[in-house]
Structure 1
Amino acid sequence: MDIHSLIARRVRELRDGHGLSLEALAERSGVSRSNISLIERGQSSPTAAVLDKLATALGVSLASLFEAPGPSAEPPSPLARAADQAVWTDPASGYVRRNLSPALPSPLQLVEVHFPAGQRVAYETGAREAEIHQQIWLIEGAMEISAGDAHWRLEAGDCVAMRLDCPTVFHNPAREPARYLVALSTPPFSPARRNP
């Protein structure tokens, strides 16, 4: 399954799980109904900022939009082979994210990010229904990260912890790409928890 089809199925599955119409998700997220419809049909290449708005409105982490959808006849695997990990490129900034975590349910999600030199991504969204924490460990390069009023400059080997509850900006101020690992602590999504 290609990455746009994967995102399409996940957004639709999560929206259905919350019992939300396209109009209701559009109102909650600030993303137009027509744009959500295109995303759910796999006919759009949404930016990271748009996907984050949808994830926030659906009460999940951005990484959750790249997970394999729904239960299947096979039990979820505790192993994620590199060739099977979802890789997505943000069309606006060119940053590349790879979901490292296996399909086996876990309160942790791991994501590897390659962030191009000079690029910036701003997530306008704030608090989610579910409390989500993340740690970012910079492997190579430099990154400037802002979360609300807090600002950090990370060099290789530095690690920062934050809660996803305020606008966040990621910026690579250097002339070289940066690479970092994101570890997210997320509560499991339960389709039984429907929201009006």
Structure 2
Amino acid sequence: MELTRAVGENIKRIRKSKKLSMERTAAIAGVSRSMLGQIERGEANPSVAVVGKLALALKVPAQVLLENDAFEPLELVRELDTKPVRLDGGKAVLRPSFPYDDVTRQENFFLDLYISARYAPEPSVPGCICHATVMSGSVKLTAQDEDFQLLERDALRFAADRPYRFENMTNSTARLLLSYRYLK
């Protein structure tokens, strides 16, 4: 998103969350109401001094008004657009669901474990956690030196920055959803 528009949207969102009118916010900040309206609509590029005044009026750090994460809340990922990776001699298939996103600091995968399949990835970066949800089948998940028998719709959160592994425990395909979150 363009920075000027992002600043305007940030100001408007924060102003409304504090239940302040445009008139009141403009008066506190010492800017005209029309200037504030232009800034909120992304039609005017405020100076550093004006951003500072608005931050004081809204009682937030100026950097909050400058945040521009370009996050798009609506995103469609189709299976045909993702590339699966075959592991464990082809008995395990890892397919991205959502690629890594800098804003949410997470990524998601589908994991299919065929009969007798195992998946033991390298530990992730420090501070990474995984939410593993079994969509079908039964899986033995070893994490943090403990074994867990997970059945359909069971979920387990664990530190993914330590060794862990999944094993299919049934005579059919086990399917999981893996969500990795990278903490700051």
1:110 to 108, 111, 124: 108
Spell out the pairing of 1:12-91 with structure 2 (5 A cutoff): 78-91=75-88
Structure 1 residue 89: deviation in Å? Answer: 1.0
Query: 1:59 — aligned with what?
Result: none
For residue 164 of structure 1, what is the aligned residue in structure 2? 160
Superposed displacement of residue 118, structure 1: 1.4
In structure 1, the residue matched to 2:129 is 133
- 1:79 Cα deviation from its structure 2 partner: 3.2
Contact preservation (8 Å) 2:99, 2:108: no
Tell me which protein shows more strand as a share of its residues. 2
Query: CA contact under 8 A between 2:86 and 2:92: conserved in structure 1?
Result: yes
8 Å contact kept, 1:80–1:103: no
- Give 1:100's aligned residue: 97
Question: Sequence identity, in percent?
Answer: 18
Structure 2 counterpart of 1:86, one-letter code: K
Question: For structure 2, which runs of at least 5 residues remain unmatched after alignment?
Answer: 1-70
* Structure 1: 5+ residue stretches without partners: 1-74, 189-196
Equivalent AA in structure 2 for residue 156 of structure 1: E
Paired residue total: 112
Q: Take 2:100 and 2:165, find their aligned partners in 1: how far apart are those partners?
A: 29
Relative CO higher for 1 or 2, CA cutoff 8 Å, sep ≥ 6? 1
Do residues 148 (structure 1) and 131 (structure 2) align? no
Structure-2 change in CA distance of 1:104 and 1:171 (3 Å): closer
> Equivalent residue of 1:112, what SS?
strand
Q: For the aligned residues, what is the CA RMSD?
A: 2.6
TM-score, with normalisation over the residues of structure 1?
Answer: 0.50
